[in-house]
Amino acid sequence: MENIRIAVLCSGGGTNLQAILDAKAAGNLPDGEIVLVVADSEAAYALERAKRQGIPAAVFDKHVYSRAAREQAILAALGEKKIGLVVLAGFMTVLSADFVKAYEGRIVNIHPALLPSFGGVGMYGLHVHEAVLAAGVKVTGATVHYVTEVCDGGPIIAQKAVEVREGDTPETLQRRVMREAEWIIYPQAIEQVCKKLKGE
């Protein structure tokens, strides 16, 4: 059985993309191949990371394409590359039900909190960590989950807890959650899913 062909969809810095690329380079993603990076902004630093690694990238800029046209273009690009797994890594567009249906069971996302807490519409980026600090919880973390039409609501694949410390700001907490949870569990969960998909 061939390795699962992965597309990573990003909007920003792409540190999770980097963690996935590093895992592949280190031999920790034996059942998947990263064959495409998609960005919805020309400014996404993720594009630079893809270029450095020699991975083809496609940009469907938010300012050029409407949401519907962007989705159609992305679907076409995924089809062309025979993508078997769509990995959302800081992709700031909520996918439509039609898109999700086209790749049912084959789209994963990472969320920077322990779902089902601190998830849903509006809970992205620093907003998540601000909400965690405002709630006063002492433990947060990251969650990898399948994507369904319910925002942040799909079946959970992996989670890792991270301590909230006295004096944390949203920024320090975001960094700790990335370093101690996201960059570790995302490549691992992707490998787990690829292995499972290969067996189907």
Nearer to ligand GRF, 92 or 137 (CB): 92
d(CA 171, CA 52): 27
Phi, psi of 140 (to 5 degrees): -130, -150
Catalytic residue from among 63, 111, 127, 129: 111
Site residues (CB under 6 A) for ligand GRF, limited to 14-33: 14-16
d(CA 28, CA 22): 9
CB of 109 to ligand GRF, least distance (A): 7
Give the tokens for residue 14: 């792409």
d(CA 176, CA 163): 9
Q: With binding defined as CB under 6 A, does residue 107 bind ligand GRF? A: no
Is 145 a catalytic site residue?
no
From 5-13, 34-42, 131-139, 149-157, span contacting ligand GRF (CB under 6 A)? 5-13
Strand pairing class (32-39; 57-59):
parallel
Q: With binding defined as CB under 6 A, does residue 90 bind ligand GRF? A: yes
CB of 101 to ligand GRF, least distance (A): 22
DSSP β-bridge partners for residue 145:
109, 156
Nearer to ligand GRF, 20 or 78 (CB): 20
Give the tokens for residue 24: 């592949």
Q: With binding defined as CB under 6 A, does residue 143 bind ligand GRF? A: no
Which residue of this chain has its Cβ atom nearest to ligand GRF in the complex?
90
d(CA 161, CA 165): 13
Nearer to ligand GRF, 175 or 198 (CB): 175
Task: Give the 3-state secondary structure of residue 150.
Answer: coil
CB of 1 to ligand GRF, least distance (A): 29
Find the radius of gyration of the CA atoms of the chain. 16
CB of 85 to ligand GRF, least distance (A): 17
Q: CB of 182 within 8 A of CB of 159? A: no
Give the tokens for residue 33: 């191949």
Q: With binding defined as CB under 6 A, does residue 89 bind ligand GRF? A: yes
Interacting residues with ligand GRF (CB under 6 A): 10, 12-16, 89-90, 110-112, 178, 182
Residues designated as active site: 111
